[in-house]
Amino acid sequence: MTMSKLTLTAPKKIIAMAEEQARRENTSISAMFVNFIKSKNRIWAEQRAHREIAPITKSLTGIVKLPEDFDERDFMTDILSEKHGLRK
């Protein structure tokens, strides 16, 4: 992989913490930064994958037409209250 130079600015205390962490892990601050970005990107991709709508859900979109004044919260409250034997 071709490497490029990047200059970061941080408080002296944070730089000292990064240097100490790199020493403990027997690595460089640059390598720690690369690993951090890769990790953040992997987490973001996993979260994005969970947010995507499944094909079956996409195929069902638009089948039901709800009234303009439909309140999903009230509907779910009623359904869950009935399911668990509770009264509003």
78 pLDDT exceeds 70? yes
Return the domain boundaries, the chain.
Answer: 12-83
Give the pLDDT of residue 88. 59
Give percent of the chain above pLDDT 70. 99
Q: Which of 4, 69, 65 is nearest to 33 (CA)?
A: 4
- C-alpha–C-alpha distance, residues 17 and 69, integer Å: 55
Give the pLDDT of residue 24. 97
Instruction: With residue 45 as reference, give the H or E element that holds it.
Output: helix 29-51
Tens of pLDDT along 2-41? 989 999 999 999 999 999 999 999 999 999 999 999 999 9
